Amino acid sequence: MVAEYKIKADKLNLYYGDHKALHDIQLNIEQNGIYALIGPSGCGKSTFLRTLNRMNDLIDGVKIDGSVVIDGQNIYDTETDVVSLRKRVGMVFQRPNPFPMSIYDNIAYGPRIHGTKNKATLDVIVEKSLKQAALWEEVKDRLNKSALGLSGGQQQRLCIARLLAVEPDVLLMDEPTSALDPISTLKVEELSQELKERYTIVIVTHNMQQAARISDYTSFFLNGYLVESNKTDKIFTNPTDQRTEDYITGRFG
């Protein structure tokens, strides 16, 4: 049976100690496409994003109730293999974080961890992943050079390629262009448009123009609540909640 939605958050609450950071989040995310999460700083966007691959598990004092169902399985079930989950649901962070090793070894790192040792197989994975991340032509002659020598924009695309190398289903992006210059930002946005044909992408952004440009659906968070979620053009042209309109038009945030 094919799941109705790729991701389904149901009555999701999250606490940092005594502080309740997410309140009864209900959000359905379909297969493929780009989902933008918008809202002012501290409103729960990144916290929600991290619930989708259990990154919040790494923070002391976090408690979660409710469910997040991916491909029909609640990822908060006790038998969930979290390592396998994070392989399927990968994350790109705000600042590029290449490993201090060669470009080649950055991409091959994940497949090696998961048991791929054959050099010819790794060569194919590295080339394919870099091509998918629109980086191959720029780095193919220096694969054995340090990834730290790449520009910021190239490093971010390298981090995306590193995710793609382990064949995920979902890409989580936490403000992936906030530390990049406009040209690098455009390249990552164009890349996202290409990747959505094969992956489900959930992106946190503070950039309203970016959300309007690249996303298919937009969800507005405020003070830990999901105010509304809809197709992006509807959110930006005819939101149902006044608070959404006030945020989008710059009255607060």
Q: What is the DSSP annotation of 237-252? A: HS-SSHHHHHHHTTS-
Buried residues in 173-210 as b, exposed as e (16+ CB within 10 A) = bbbbbebbeeebbebbbebbeebbeebbbbbbbebbeb
Residue 5: what pLDDT? 93
The rounded distance, in Å, linking the Cα atoms of 102 and 130 is: 13
At 172-199, the pLDDT tens digits run 999 999 999 999 999 999 999 999 999 9
Per the structure block, which two tokens stand in for 24? 């009864």
Residue 66: what pLDDT? 97
C-beta separation of 163 from 171 below 8 A: yes
Residue 3: what pLDDT? 58
Cβ neighbors of 84 (< 8 A, separation 6 or more) are none
At 212-243, the pLDDT tens digits run 999 999 999 999 999 999 999 999 999 999 99
Other beta carbons within 10 Å of 33: 18
Buried residues in 112-140 as b, exposed as e (16+ CB within 10 A) = eeeeeeeeeebeebbebbbebbbbbebbe
Tell me the C-alpha to C-alpha distance, in Å, between residue 247 and each of 173, 217, 236. Answer: 21, 17, 10
**Angle formed by the axes of helices 152-164 and 119-132, nearest 10°:** 130
Domains of the chain: 7-248 (3.40.50.300)
3-state secondary structure of 33: strand
Per the structure block, which two tokens stand in for 203? 């992106």
Task: Collect the ranges in the chain with pLDDT lower than 50.
Answer: 1
Which of these, 211, 239, 212, lies nearest to 227 by C-alpha position? 239
Q: Tell me the whole-structure pTM to 2 decimals.
A: 0.95
